[in-house]
Structure 1
Amino acid sequence: MPLPLYLLAMAVFAMGTSEFMLAGLLPDISSDLDVTVGTAATLTSAFAVGMAVGAPLVAALARHWPRRSSLLGFILTFAAAHAAGAVTTSFPVLLAIRVVAALANAGFLAVALTAAATLVSPDRKGRALAVLLSGTTVATIAGVPGGSLLGTVLGWQATFWAVAALCLPAALGILKAIPAGRVRQEATGGPALRTELAELARRPLILVMLLGALVNAATSASFTFLAPVVTDTAGLGERWISVVLVLFGAGSFAGVTIAGRLSDQRPGPVFAVGGSLLLIGWPTLAVLADEPVALFALVLVQGALSFTLGSTLITRVLYEAAKAPTMAGSYATAALNVGAAVGPLIAATTLHAGLGNLGPMWASGLLVAITLLIAFPFRTVVTAGPSA
Structure 2
Amino acid sequence: MPFIVHVLGFATFAQGTSEFMLSGLLPALAADLDVSLSEAGLLVSAFAVGMVIGAPLLTLATLGLPRRAALVGFQAVFVAGHAAAALVPHFGFLLAMRAVTGMAYAGFWALASVTAVSLVSADRRGKAMSVVVAGLSLSMILGVPAGTLLAQHADWRAAFWAVAATTALSATAVLLALPAGRDTTAARPGLRTELRSLAVPRLWRAYATTALTISATSAVFSYLGALLEDVTGIPERLVPVVLGLYGAGALAGLIVGGRTGDRAPFGVLLTGMGTVAVVAAALAPTAEIPAVVIPLVVLLAAGGFATNPAVNARVFGILGETRTLGGAMNIAAFNVGIAVAPWVSGLAIDAGPGPAGIGWVGAAFALAALANTLLDRHLTHRHRRTTSRSAPTAVDGARATTVSLYAGHDRPL
Bin the TM-score by the shorter chain. over 0.9
Q: Are 1:195 and 2:189 matched, yes or no?
A: no
**Corresponding residue of 2:295:** 297
Aligned residue in 1 for 2:150 = 150
SS class of match (1:71) = helix
The residue number in structure 2 matching 1:308 is 306
**CA offsets, 1:303-358, max 9 Å, x none?**
00000123311321121222532223202211111100011011110002221111
Q: Please, what is the CA RMSD of the aligned residues?
A: 1.6
CA contact (8 A) 1:20 1:140 kept: yes
Judging changes above 3 Å, is the alpha-carbon distance between structure 1 residues 199 and 185 closer, same or farther for their aligned structure 2 residues? closer
1:265-304, Cα deviation, whole Å (9 max, x unpaired): 1223212322222211101111222111111101001000
**Secondary structure, counterpart of 1:327 in structure 2:** helix
Cα distance in 2 between the residues matched to 1:363 and 1:131 = 29
**CA distances 1:32-77 after superposition (whole Å, capped 9, x unpaired):** 1111111111010000011011101001111120111111111111
Q: Secondary structure at the match of 1:290?
A: coil
Task: Choose the corresponding residue for 2:277, options 279, 287, 290.
Answer: 279
Asked whether the equivalents of residues 13 and 139 of structure 2 are also in contact (C-alpha less than 8 Å), the reply is yes
Aligned residue for 1:366? 364
* Equivalent residue, structure 1, for 2:113: 113
- What letter corresponds to residue 281 of structure 1 in structure 2? V
Taking the aligned partners of 1:307 and 1:8, their CA distance within structure 2 comes to 18
The question of whether the paired residues in 1 share the 8 Å contact of 2:12 and 2:133 is answered with yes
Check 1:203–1:387 CA distance in 2 against 1; reply closer, same or farther (3 A cut): closer
TM superposition shift of 1:369: 0.9
Partner of 1:32, secondary structure, is helix
Shift of 1:146: 0.7
Taking the TM superposition and a 5 Å limit, the aligned residue runs for 1:117-128 are: 117-128=117-128
Q: Share of identical aligned residues, percent?
A: 39
Give the Cα separation in 2 of the matches to 1:97 and 1:382.
41
> Which residue of structure 2 lines up, in the alignment, with residue 351 of structure 1?
349
CA distance in 2, matches of 1:304, 1:3: 26
- Aligned in 2, Cα 1:140/1:262: closer, same or farther, shift over 3 Å? same
- Asked which structure has the greater CA Rg, the reply is 2
1:103 Cα deviation (Å)? 1.1
CA change 1:323–1:186 in 2 (3 A) is: closer
Number of residue pairs matched by the alignment: 385
Partner of 2:120, secondary structure, is coil
**What is the alpha-carbon distance in structure 2 between the residues aligned to residue 119 and residue 381 of structure 1?**
31
Q: Gaps spanning 5+ residues in structure 2: where?
A: 382-403, 409-413
Q: Distance in 2 between matches of 1:130 and 1:381?
A: 26
Mapped contact 1:199–1:205 kept (Cα < 8 A): no
Match of 2:267 in 1: 269
Name the SS for the 1:376 alignment partner: helix
1:106-140: CA deviation from partner (whole Å, max 9, x where unpaired): 11111100000111112211000000001111001
Contact 2:66 2:180 in 1 (8 A): yes
CA deviation digits over 1:179-207, x for unaligned, max 9? 315544233xx3x3123223323211100
Aligned to 1:317: 315
Letter in 1 for 2:289: E
Q: Please give the per-residue CA displacement for 1:244-273, whole angstroms capped at 9, x wherever unaligned.
A: 211110011111111110011122321232
Q: Secondary structure at the match of 1:239?
A: helix
Per the normalisation by structure 2, the TM-score is 0.90
Alignment CA distance shift 1:284-1:386 (3 Å):
farther
Match of 2:13 in 1: 13
| 1:101 CA displacement | 0.6
Check whether the contact 1:114–1:327 (CA below 8 A) recurs between aligned residues: no
After the TM superposition, which of the residue ranges 125-134 and 272-281 deviates more from structure 2? 272-281
The equivalent residue for 1:101 is 101
2:378 and 2:118 mapped to 1: Cα distance? 26
In the superposition, relative to structure 1, how do residues 278 and 211 fare at CA in structure 2: closer, same or farther (>3 Å)?
A: same
